[in-house]
Structure 1
Amino acid sequence: MVTCYLRYVLDPYQIKAFEHYATLWIPLVEKFGGQHHGYFLPSEGANNIALAMFSFPSLSAYEQYRQDSMNDPDCMAAFKYAEDTKCILSYERSFFRPVFGKQA
């Protein structure tokens, strides 16, 4: 399993727009076989940083999702929404191997 960690730098005046963007992506990741662990929006501290995490069974499954999302109308609409609202200034993506507790 591989978990994708995304760190976003947001326009602090567009947090509501980013929150809408986040609600669009959660079911889309799951539609393509991923497990979304949620988005985490600014609360205390920095007012322009958000995080997201989601997992796929393997890096190749993640790569297939990325490829398939480029041809999916709902994914393309979500990409366009972020572009139109300019709620995301930049982002970085990292990958981790999760540990969820003792395995049977």
Structure 2
Amino acid sequence: MTVTCFIRYQIDPFQREAFKRYAETWGRIIPRCGGNLIGYFLPHEGSNDVAWGLIGFDDMAAYERYRSVLKDDADGRSNFELAQSLRFILREERTWLEDVGATRDVARQVTP
């Protein structure tokens, strides 16, 4: 069973660029530590203080292995410390979702 960690962030809207840099840094760290980075998403229209991150794993055991590797990753620790020092993340919530495989990454069939 493939699972996705859906992370909802409440961010300081005046520090949007700091969160963007934080997310881009995870783009290098997460795959290296064993996670399948689906992506980070910034607010575009509507609410200006909610962002999301989605990370996939083969199963919860793969997530536990990822956490163990991440704990020892110097860049990962540094990125966490950056977020804490600049305080651009006001709140973080995690939800675990089971992927419906037949619906994942289905390309559009209509060409623009």
In the TM superposition, structure 1's runs of 4+ consecutive aligned residues that sit over 3 Å from their partners are none
TM-score, normalised with respect to structure 1 = 0.91
Partner of 1:77: 78
Distance (Å, rounded) in 2 between the aligned partners of 1:71 and 1:57 = 21
Confirm or deny that 1:34 pairs with 2:31.
no
Q: Which amino acid aligns with 2:30?
A: V
Structure 2: gaps (5+ residues):
104-112
Aligned pairs for 1:1-104 (under 5 A) are 1-101=2-102
What is the CA-CA distance between 1:34 and the residue it aligns to? 1.5
Q: Give the TM-score normalised by structure 2.
A: 0.85
User: What RMSD in Å do the two structures reach over aligned CA positions?
Assistant: 1.2
Taking the aligned partners of 1:83 and 1:2, their CA distance within structure 2 comes to 27
Tell me how far 1:67 sits from its aligned partner: 2.4
Aligned-partner SS, 2:56: strand
Radius of gyration: which is bigger? 2
**Number of equivalences:** 102
String of CA shifts for 1:12-50, please: whole Å, max 9, x gaps: 111000000000112211112221111110111110000
Could you tell me which runs of 5 or more consecutive residues in structure 1 were left unpaired when the two chains were aligned: none
Equivalent position SS for 1:101 = helix
CA distance in 1, matches of 2:91, 2:61: 25
